[in-house]
Every structure is written in C-alpha cells, then in structure tokens.
Amino acid sequence: MLLSVLLLALRSVMRNMLRSGLTILGIVIGVSAVITMVTLGRGATVAIAAQITSLGANLLIVSPGQRVPGGGGGAGGVPQFTEEDALSIQSQIGGVAAVAPQGRLAVTVVANGRNWATTVSGSSNEWFSTGNWQLASGRVFEDDEQRAGAAVCVIGETVRRELYGGSPGLTGLGEALRVKQFSCTVVGILAAKGQGGMGDQDDTVLLPLHTLQRRVTGSRKVSTLLVSMEDGSDATRLKASLRQLMRERRRLGESGAGGLDDNFNIFDTQQLAQTLASTMGVLTQLLGAVAAVSLLVGGIGIMNIMLVSVTERTREIGLRLAVGALEQEVLLQFLIEAVVLSALGGLVGVVLAVGASFGLSRLMGVAYEFDLGINVLALLFSAFIGVVFGYFPALRAARMDPIEALRHE
C-alpha cells in the first residue's frame, strides 16, 4: 500500500512541474543558505586559527604597557625589557621551550636601486622557533655574528619580491641591503607565511639583536619578549610564574595591596585563537538561524499549495473515499506529497549549497570545510518541514464528506 501511495504522490507532484518548482523554491533557498553560512563560518574559523597559529606555537608575547581596567593601556613612559629578562625567563621558569628578545622599528630599506618601507626586527636565533619560521634558502645567524652584532640579515618573502623580484638572476641571497646608514648582507630568506592577524607577516627584515641595538636604535632595550611554551605545558601556571618573575625584575612588589599594578602585558596567542573560534562559532550559529527563517517561509508555501491542491482535487478525493479508501490512506497520500516536495527542495538546496560554498570559499580565500552532518541534517529538516506544514492540508482531505466532495464543482 505504501508503495502505491508513494507512486500516486509522485505522479501528482510531477503533474505540474512549474508549480511544484515554485513551491519548493523557499525550501531550496533556506537549505542552501543554512549550509552555505555554516560551511563558510567553519572555513573562516579554520583560517583564523591557522593565522593565529602561524604567529607561533603556544606563544606568549610579553610587552610593556600599563594594565588598566577593561584592557587597553599604552607603553608610553613604561620601562622596556632587556636581554637579561629573556635569559632569566629561560633559566628560571620550567616549561619554556625558547625565549626571544625582540626589538622592532619601522624603516625604509634600500637595495638594487629600489626602496621599501618595512619593519626591521632584531632578535636571536630563538626568534625562528618561537614564531614557527622556516627558511626558504640561506641560513640563520652564527653565534659570533650575534655576539659581535655583525652586518647580516634575513629577509621575508615580501621584501625579497619588492627589492629583488624584478631583476633576472637575483634571488636576494648574498646581496647587500641598506638599513638606515649601514649596509648588511642577506644570509637567509624566510619561507612565506602570508597574511596573519597582524598584517603581512612576510614584510619583515631580521637582524641580530646586537646589530639592531648598536646600528639602528642605539639602545640596549628590547620592546617585546617572545616566550614559546613546551608542548603539554600548563599555560595558566606558566603565565602566573612569568608574571611573578616580571614583577620581581621590574620591582613592582607583591601583587595586591601594597604592590604596584603590572606595567607589562602577557598576550597568549592560544587563548586568542580559542576566543576567536568561539566568537566565529556564535556568529555562524546566528547566521544559520537567520537563514533558517527561509525554511519556515518555504514550509508555509508548501502548506498553501497543498491546500490549493486539496481544493482542486475535491471530487477525486470524494471518489476515492466513496469506493472504499480509508481516511488514513488519503491522509498518507497528501502527507507524502508534501514530504516529497520539501525533500526534493532540500536535495536541490544541498547541491546548490555545495557549489556555492566551494566557490565562495575560493573567492574569500578560506578553507572549504565540507561537513556531511550539516548537509544530512538540513535535508532531514526539510523533510520534517513537509510533515509539519503538510499535515493540516492532508488532514483536511482525509476528513472530507464523500457525498459533499462528489457534489463539488
């Protein structure tokens, strides 16, 4: 019986393809919108997490700046760090993989007859491990180069492209690069990372820390301490130990009553990644909920067209009931018609969503994250919409009086 009712429902749906297509349009739009929004949201979350991770694995960034209620604060007038602070962190705090003192300055560099405004940093070889940096070619600094403040440098891909990219035969490696009043030799080129949470990560020039201090800034102070934690380290405990050590070295006294406020900040990239992922998850759910309204609109459209269909086929319903068809058979027939319509709309919506998600992911530059679960759920929900909004018209058809239905013009 079920098979015959299903075939009868399919024939009724196919009898007027244009009307059926317009009926399921709301379901198609709703399903495709929900799947597309969720897929793009997850892809954006993965892209943001990858950008944060590219800043450094398990990285803590310690920077000077008065902490004020509600966040914010600046570093004006606040003491900066020294190289000895980095050595103290490395030797006195367990769970630390590497510490890199870093100084930064925005300058214009000149090479090969071209100039480029970039950021010049000074640090040690630990800078490469704390920031997950790899070399595309060349080498890192040698120990004697770091101690003596030698005129050597490592450049990012953006700097290499802007200064040497247009000259055939020049790779940048071994070439001279002028930073302010002195010239340094390019000994290494960083592997490209692309855009990160703080702009173009490849737009950088790295000098040995002593070179930056003696030839560029003229100061032994460093602006940032990059602290990389070992895998499996307790981040909360390590940050507490780091904060206590910094307070001792900066003579701030005991925390709480009688002690001064922290004049430094500890920025946890892992915590930022979790916060951003949580925020993106909420936004994705919100967008999905807004798009799901289209499903309700589509359901109302199905109810409307099913009521029209019942009215048009009143004599047919009366004849079926008169020759012995049971009420539940008529109810099932119209209910299956509604479910077929909504499920067909859901299937078309899934196909459109897969194509739209893939195309928009490429256009937005985020990863395409196919989720079988959300696609199946959207398809099942569309069928459920057919049951909910098709039940009333089906019940109306099943409860018709056969005599009155046969009299209908």
Give me the average pLDDT of each 10-residue run along the chain (409 residues): 68 73 81 85 76 71 65 57 91 90 92 91 92 91 93 94 82 90 92 72 93 90 90 85 89 71 83 74 76 76 79 76 77 81 87 90 80 83 84 82 70
Tokens representing 389 are 């909004």
On whether residue 287 sits in a domain, the answer given is yes
Determine the distance from the C-alpha atom of residue 180 to the mean position of all C-alpha atoms in its chain, rounded to a whole number: 38
Residues 89 and 216 in one domain: yes
Amino acid at 107: V
Q: 231 and 258: one domain? A: yes
Nearest to 224 by CA among 104, 124, 118: 104
- Report if residue 295 sits inside a domain: yes
Domain boundary among 212, 233, 262: 262
The Cα diameter of the chain in Å comes to: 106
Residue at which a domain ends, from 202, 233, 262: 262
Residue 58 lies in a domain: no
The pLDDT, as a whole number, for residue 203 is 92
Structurally, how many domains does the chain consist of?
2
- pLDDT of 159 reads 93
Picking from 262, 284, 314, the residue at the C-terminal end of a domain is: 262
Is residue 364 domain-shared with residue 296, that is, in the same domain? yes
Tell whether the torsion through CA atoms of 39, 43, 48 and 49 is positive or negative: positive
Residues 112 and 177 grouped into a single domain: yes
Q: Are residues 332 and 216 in the same domain?
A: no
Domain extent at residue 218 = 79-262
